[in-house]
């Protein structure tokens, strides 16, 4: 038998190796394609995109408009995020004027859409019709969410201590949601509420 030259054996071995490598590479590509196809069936692109959009979307914040006037640098109508405080509106208005009586302004009160805020000057009496409603007999009713200490003391059965308690309750819990909520204030029981219910409002 004729002896095969080493060069031929080496060349044949190299060809076999190339063919084997090509087969393994093609097999791996097919497996990878199958994996991607299975993933696409399990997690459609539209679903993945929708999830991404959901994660990226920022929660919408409702906007409100309030009118702030009186002793402020730039009185006018301002737009703020819902849940903002009187202090935020005052800052947008350039802050209080030099003659503003800030002791009569509840900076911590939450704002409501279409609300009017009057910052009084020292010694000035703000027209109560801007802050109060009327009861069924045409008498004015006091807004217990905006009234200051001296105004609250005008209510029957409300002295200085109780007025301070009302203001402290507002600062801690926010605005009263109903006039009945005033019964949660220390020193205001059912009898006192009966005297107040036709004289107060919360809007």
Could you report the per-residue pLDDT of 111-151, keeping only the tens digit for each? 888 888 888 888 876 554 344 444 444 445 788 988 888 88
Closest listed residue to residue 111, CA positions, set 140, 82, 150: 82
Reduced to 3 states (helix: H, G, I; strand: E, B; else coil), residue 42 is helix
Q: Hey, CA dihedral for 151, 152, 158, 163, is it positive or negative?
A: negative
136 compared with 194, residue with greater pLDDT: 194
Q: What is the pLDDT of residue 167?
A: 94
Q: Would you call 158 helix, strand, or coil by DSSP?
A: coil
Q: What is the mean pLDDT of residues 147-156?
A: 88
Q: How far apart are CA 95 and CA 145, in angstroms?
A: 21
Which CATH entry fits the domain spanning 60-126: 2.70.98.10, 3.20.20.10, 3.10.20.600, 3.40.50.12780? 3.10.20.600
Mean pLDDT of 192-200: 89
Q: Model confidence over 36-80: pLDDT tens digits?
A: 455 545 555 544 455 555 555 566 889 999 888 888 999 888 999
Contact present, 140 and 128 (Cβ < 8 Å)? yes
pLDDT of residue 151: 86
Angstrom distance (rounded) from CA 135 to CA 115: 20
Q: Quick one: which H or E segment has residue 200?
A: strand 200-201
CATH architecture of 133-203: Orthogonal Bundle (1.10)
Q: Which residue has the tokens 């107040």?
A: 196
Distance CA 95, CA 88 (A): 9
pLDDT at 73: 93
């Amino acid at each position: 038998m004729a002896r095969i030259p080493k060069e031929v054996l080496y060349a044949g071995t190299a060809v076999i190796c190339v063919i084997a490598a090509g087969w393994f590479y093609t097999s791996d590509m097919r497996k990878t394609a199958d994996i991607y196809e299975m993933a696409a069936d399990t997690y459609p692109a539209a679903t993945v995109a929708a999830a991404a959009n959901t994660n990226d979307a920022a929660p919408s914040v409702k906007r409100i408009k309030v009118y702030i006037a009186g002793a402020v640098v730039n009185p006018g109508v301002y737009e703020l995020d819902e849940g903002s405080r009187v202090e935020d509106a005052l800052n947008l208005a350039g802050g209080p004027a030099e003659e503003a009586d800030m002791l009569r302004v509840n900076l911590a009160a939450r704002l409501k859409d279409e609300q009017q805020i009057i910052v009084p000057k020292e010694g000035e009496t703000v027209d109560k019709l801007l802050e109060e409603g009327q009861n069924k007999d045409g008498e004015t009713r006091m807004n217990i969410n905006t009234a200051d200490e001296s105004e609250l003391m005008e209510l029957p059965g409300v002295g200085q201590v109780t007025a301070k308690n009302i203001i402290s309750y507002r600062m801690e819990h926010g605005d009263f949601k109903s006039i009945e909520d005033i019964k949660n204030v220390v020193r205001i029981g059912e009898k006192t509420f009966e005297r107040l219910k036709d004289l107060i409002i919360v809007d």
